[in-house]
Structure 1
Amino acid sequence: MRNFYKAGRSVTYGLTGAVASSSPHASQAALSILKAGGNAMDAAIAACAIQCVVDPMQTGIGGDCFALVAMGGGSQVEGLNGSGKAPMALTADYLLSNGFDKMDPTSPHAITVPGAIDAWTRLHEKYGSMDFADLLAPAIDCAENGFVVTQRTSVDWEMGVAKLLKNPAASDMYLNNGKPPAAGTIWRLPKLAATLKAIAKKGRAAFYEGDLAAQMADSLKAAGGLHEAEDFAATGADFVAPIHSEYQGHQVHQIPPNGQGITALIMLNILKRFDLDGLDPNGAQRLHLEAEAARLAYLTRNKYVADPTKADVPTEMLLSDEFADHLCKYIEVGKAGDPTGANALERHRDTVYLTVVDKDRNAVSFINSLFQGFGSGIACPKTGVLFQNRGFGFVVDPDHPNCVAPGKRPMHTIIPGMVTKGGKAVLSYGVMGGGYQPVGHAHVLTNIWNYGMDVQEAIDSPRAFYDGGILEVEEGVPASVRAELTAMGYQLADTSMPLGGGQMIAIDANTGVLSAGSESRKDGCAIAY
């Protein structure tokens, strides 16, 4: 229970349905869909489409999408991997011969074919109940008639100005005479509205075939990319069986590689071998064990995680008790371990995550992203599509399983989460923030299960992020705790912005009450009824 003398948010309770997102526009649209008779998937797609308009640095239809779904509130969790692939002409040899020994996040070669629209349409076909055009209508209205820029969004927008100025099409869409909009500004995206209208009318084919696909491919080739219209036509999301691990009687579900969800499960497998219950949740010892679990989990991720259709990824071994026991041998309690190779890829704070639960207890955990702020910064001038830079997740090393290759998916950071217990879905959750996400997942779940926090307290709790030898800490971490961590051998740094952002909906299996929480570090909200 929160301290009502301190600023903060209360848990949002409901009986019929709930939604939590990082945008008030999206949360309101999702609630309207639920009240109009739509189900959780309808509401999630509508909310995400809006965020692709109103949070353009975080997400877009030029990005990717993952989802976990538990229909009817049962324990059968289904996953969808909507991550795009490298163009068929892109090889490591080509990059190396052209002076690229690593991926450049603002190069057209970092642009994988967008998977989001294909993912939305496949999810809608399997789980949706309303007309797809009706789900896109609120987003089209925002893009065409304008939306009001919110406070956190305005800050993130300003941080992307230098990138946007490098591309005329992106600058034209998202800057006004080279300046970003201030909070409270009305902004319109007419070209994006026209593209969304075409998708609403013709579905997937409008985006991946015909004129729009040709225009996007042409714009990428003009920027120096190797993309062809055929790469767009060949794009397809995949329904996948989630991977999972057990923690205190709960089954934690994640999308399998090429996603980094396995990193969160490895962290939990390590942490459950220590007695967290008696520790101060905001104390040095807890943050130390979390940092060490992250160090070892990221080392593992960076060595093994890749597209399993193109490389051998030993998922079963990585999730085994024997492997967790092996990793724990490299933890010396009270001392920072060797951080070599344990980089999290990127310390950015972008992506949107949302979750919806409806009256039938269909639970949807949904995440959509451009990767870094404004993605690659490269936009298509005719369609209004801003392209992601997910290819930055590749390495340019022919001997590495995650080496860039034609038609291959990169190691991917966005990870929705779902928890089941006793044959029922009990928690739909996610934590945004690029490389931070596995740490965020482990942090909020242990906040609930080890420290008895409610969903809002678990999200609000101060965070730390151990990345490549630097332990970033938020303002809420006390000076005394910082001193203890420094004495353990950690190099501390203040976060430049709050770490990530999360949403959660808990489902009480006995009463049916929905408890929703939304990130106080963002602009959004949780709504239930």
Structure 2
Amino acid sequence: MKRDFHAPGRSAVYATGGMAATSMPIATLTALEVLKSGGNALDAAIAAVAVLGVVEPQSTGIGGDCFCLYAPAGASKPIALNGSGRAPAAATPEALRARQVSTLVNTSPHVVTVPGAISAWEKLNKTHGRKPLGELLQPAIRCAEEGFPVHPRVALDWGEAAGKLRGNAASARRFLANGEAPKAGHVFRQPELGKTLRAIAERGARAFYEGEIAADMVATLRALGGLHTEEDFARGQHLAEFVEPISIDWRGMTVFQCPPNGSGMHVLQILGILGGFATPEQGPLSAERYHRHIEAARLVYRDRDAFLADPSQVDVPVAKLTDPAYLAALRGLIRDDGAMKLLPPAGTADLAKHKDTVYLCVVDAEGNACSFINSLFESFGSGILAEKSGVMLHNRGFGFRLQEGHVNCIAPNKRPMHTIIPGMVMQGGQCLMPYGVMGGHFQPMGQTLFLTNHFEFGLDVQEAIDLPRLFPSPSKGVVEVERGIPSAVLDRLTRLGHEVALIERPHGGGQAILMDRKRGVLVGGSDPRKDGCALGY
């Protein structure tokens, strides 16, 4: 498929040295500067994500969590790191009910878990980095202290989150001007965050999890009724951990994901279901292709809501849910002539029993590849700002429930169900592509749309990111579609039994870097749904 140069769009980026793809140009440039000054792909990723936490504050920051897949040159599989935080030690359904909390609200202190990002950055840097963490944080410090212009997509998201920010006095003071979100081009400064980043640069993760910064976060949360203690934060310094990646063989390649509590296994499930079908002759922008993808996702998100949780506290049957026989049975439920009216119970294939984030990737000249995702979850997370330290706190604990016996029932030191998932494709024992698609609950759907666009339908990396997306929302019960899908396709989907609805904001945003080893070339793409770009040298 050749690009129509009469139509709006962008080409994939080609390079032979190093490459980075992020959701903001300044972060991509930062990554390249680190590479060109002797840092490796992981160093570049950490520097870039720190910048993103300043210049894309609605999506990410040091008050959030992260996951990473890192493939050192020559490694036959990636290293996986879980940098997600845990609930306070006092967090129980009983304790919350005693505070008259009957349901979890996305702006409540009770959905704030101890942020894991800084623990993860330090662990990755000490284990696999070349440059000191303090040096890598300098670009982010400059952006925070000197200010940086708000970009168009950031401005759009900021405006939509203004109501949330007004609900917190500190957030309203620091992130709104006269009660309104800044517009594109406004130079936004965060001196308190700059000071906090300087402390981390000088003293490492301990500066964040102990002392005055931690005390500020705890005091902010407790003033709102939170159960957090400074001991909870002190324990958070070491919460990031290396874990064993999970994978599936698909179309002659191996697709790797981080294991639960992240939702990467659902990428593997969707690929396993779709991999048994012949490629639809009608192409990637067809009702036939979208219908199968919708049906596979409906089955997989049903399993997610029943099983995905913290494996240190509950049994998550990853092996069963990704078993080829189970996925083949699910595939057998999908019919090309109509949508399933009913789904079987989670974990079964028997119909008779029915009843906000940033992603980036970097590859260096040596072939080290990093797939990195860092998030506050929803736009501006909880909307709760620890004002003295400038830390916007995420709301990852919104993945918890108060329902006793549910796999995601809140519990002391438990990790919530997580949506953020870095991806990596390997072939022949070598990394082929770090990639990811951000967008909250959309991510397994987004990743599998991208992978099949590229590897099955033959779109290049940029075209595979650009192609219009849709998502069968588990919470809304409708298929949310972007405006670029032709009306004839939507009409066909409706006649197949899907209820479709146009969405205002597009689904997610993605980046990818293909390592074309045969030609010695890197090929990068970055999502036009965001403000960023891919660059190489």
Give TM-score scaled by structure 2 length.
Answer: 0.95
Structural RMSD (CA):
1.4
**How far apart are the structure 1 equivalents of 2:5 and 2:213?**
52
What amino acid is aligned across from residue 167 of structure 1 in structure 2? N
In 1, distance between residues paired with 2:454 and 2:188?
39
Tell me which residue corresponds to 2:516: 508
Q: Deviations over 1:342-377 (max 9, x none)?
A: 99xxxxxx2100000001110000000000000000
Counterpart of 2:439 in structure 1 is: 433
Call closer, same or farther: CA 1:508–1:367 in 2, change over 3 Å.
same
Secondary structure class of the residue paired with 1:234:
helix
What one-letter code is carried by the residue in structure 2 that aligns with 1:353?
Y
Map of 1:157 onto structure 2: 158
Over 3 Å counting, the alpha-carbon distance change for 1:138 and 1:304 in structure 2 is same
Whether the 8 Å contact between 2:480 and 2:503 is mirrored in structure 1 is: yes
Q: Secondary structure at the match of 1:154?
A: helix
Distance across 2 between alignment mates of 1:58 and 1:426: 27
Please say if 1:456 is aligned against 2:459: no
SS of residue matched to 2:206? helix
- Aligned position for 2:284: 281
Amino acid at match of 1:324: L
SS at the partner of 1:269? helix
User: What SS does the aligned partner of 1:30 have?
Assistant: helix
**Aligned amino acid, residue 227 of structure 1:** H
SS in 1 for 2:14: strand
The one-letter code matched in structure 2 to 1:21 is: T
- The aligned counterpart of 1:359 is 365
Return the alpha-carbon distance in structure 2 between the equivalents of residues 496 and 262 of structure 1. Answer: 29
Quote the offset at 1:170 in angstroms. Answer: 1.1
Structure 1 position 113 matched with structure 2 position 101: no
Separation in 1, partners of 2:4, 2:74: 32
Q: Is residue 294 of structure 2 the alignment partner of residue 291 of structure 1?
A: yes
Separation (CA, whole Å) in 1 of partners of 2:280 and 2:458: 9
| Cα offset, 1:3, TM superposition | 1.3
CA distance in 2: counterparts of 1:222 and 1:18, whole angstroms? 45
The CA distance in 1 between the partners of 2:391 and 2:326, in whole Å, is 43
State the match for 2:336 in structure 1. Answer: 333
Q: Distance in 1 between matches of 2:74 and 2:105?
A: 42
1:56 corresponding residue in structure 2: 57
CA distance in 1, matches of 2:71, 2:345: 33
Distance (whole Å) between structure 2 residues aligned to residue 192 and residue 339 of structure 1:
49
2:46 aligned with 1:38: no
Unaligned runs of 5+ in 2: 347-355
Q: Which residue matches 1:490? A: 498
Find the partner of 1:309 among 312, 315, 320: 312
Give the counterpart letter for 1:364 in structure 2. C
* Counterpart position of 2:223: 222
How far the C-alpha of 1:273 sits from its partner, in A, is 1.6
**Aligned partners of 1:173 and 1:49: how far apart in 2?**
19
Taking the aligned partners of 1:16 and 1:501, their CA distance within structure 2 comes to: 25
| Amino acid corresponding to residue 38 of structure 2 in structure 1 | G
AA partner of residue 532 (structure 2): G
Q: Deviations over 1:44-81 (max 9, x none)?
A: 00100001000110011000010000001532211000
Specify the alignment match of 1:242 in structure 2: 245
Residue in 1 aligned with 2:384?
Answer: 378
Deviations 1:434-466 (A, max 9, x none): 000000110000011211111101000111111
Match of residue 489, structure 2, among 476, 481, 490: 481
SS in 2 for 1:462: coil
Q: How far apart are residue 101 of structure 1 and its match?
A: 4.2
Residues 169-194 of structure 1: CA deviation (Å, up to 9, x unaligned): 11122111211111111110010000
Match of 1:7 in 2: 8
Q: 1:517 aligned to 520, 525, 531, which one?
A: 525
Cα distance, 1:277 vs. partner? 4.5
**Match for 1:321: what amino acid?**
P
Q: Deviations over 1:260-287 (max 9, x none)?
A: 0111111111101211242321110100
Count of residue correspondences? 523
Which residue is equivalent to 2:350? none
Distance 2:96 2:331 in 1: 38
State the distance in 1 between where 2:332 and 2:456 align. Answer: 23
Identity over aligned pairs, percent = 49
* CA distance in 2: counterparts of 1:114 and 1:53, whole angstroms: 16
Q: Output the amino acid matched with 1:91.
A: T
Q: Secondary structure at the match of 1:379?
A: strand
The runs of at least 4 aligned residues of structure 1 exceeding 6 Å deviation read 339-343
Matching residue of 2:393: 387
CA–CA distance in structure 1, aligned partners of residues 176 and 140 of structure 2: 20
One-letter code aligned to 1:515 = V
**Partner in structure 2 of residue 424 of structure 1:** 430
Amino acid paired to 1:428? P
Q: Can you list the C-alpha shifts for 1:272-311, whole angstroms capped at 9, x where unaligned?
A: 1211242321110100000001000000111111100000
Q: Deviations over 1:222-272 (max 9, x none)?
A: 111000011111111010110001110110000000000111111111101
Q: Give 1:99 deviation, angstroms.
A: 4.3
* Equivalent pair of 1:267/1:293 in contact (CA under 8 Å): yes
1:528 pairs with 520, 524, 536, which one? 536
Segments of structure 1 that go 5 or more residues without pairing to the other structure are 344-349
What secondary structure does 2:330 align onto? helix
CA distance in 2, matches of 1:47, 1:360: 19
Aligned to 1:231: 232
Q: Which residue of 2 aligns with 1:445?
A: 451
Q: Is the 8 A contact 2:274 2:331 kept in 1?
A: no
Q: Secondary structure at the match of 1:484?
A: helix
Letter matched to residue 96 of structure 2: L
Q: Aligned with 1:246: secondary structure? A: strand
AA aligned to 1:41 is L
How many Å separate the matches in 2 of 1:73 and 1:443? 28
Q: Is 2:358–2:373's contact at 8 Å kept on the other side of the alignment?
A: yes
Distance in 2 (CA, whole Å) between partners of 1:421 and 1:99 is 53
Distance 1:404 1:509 in 2: 46
In 2, the alpha carbon distance for the partners of 1:126 and 1:492 equals 47
Match of 1:415 in 2: 421
Q: Distance in 2 between matches of 1:516 and 1:73?
A: 21
Indicate conservation of the 8 Å contact 1:296/1:342, yes or no: no
CA contact (8 A) 2:18 2:364 kept: yes
Separation in 1, partners of 2:384, 2:510: 28
Q: CA deviation at 1:214?
A: 1.4
Tell whether the 8 Å contact from 1:448 to 1:455 is kept in structure 2 after alignment.
yes
Mapped to 2, the partners of 1:83 and 1:512 lie a distance apart of 36
User: How many angstroms apart in 2 are the aligned matches of 1:234 and 1:357?
Assistant: 33
Answer yes or no: is the 8 Å Cα contact 2:469–2:481 preserved in 1: yes
Counterpart Cα distance in 1 of 2:331 and 2:321: 13
2:280/2:288 contact within 8 Å kept? no
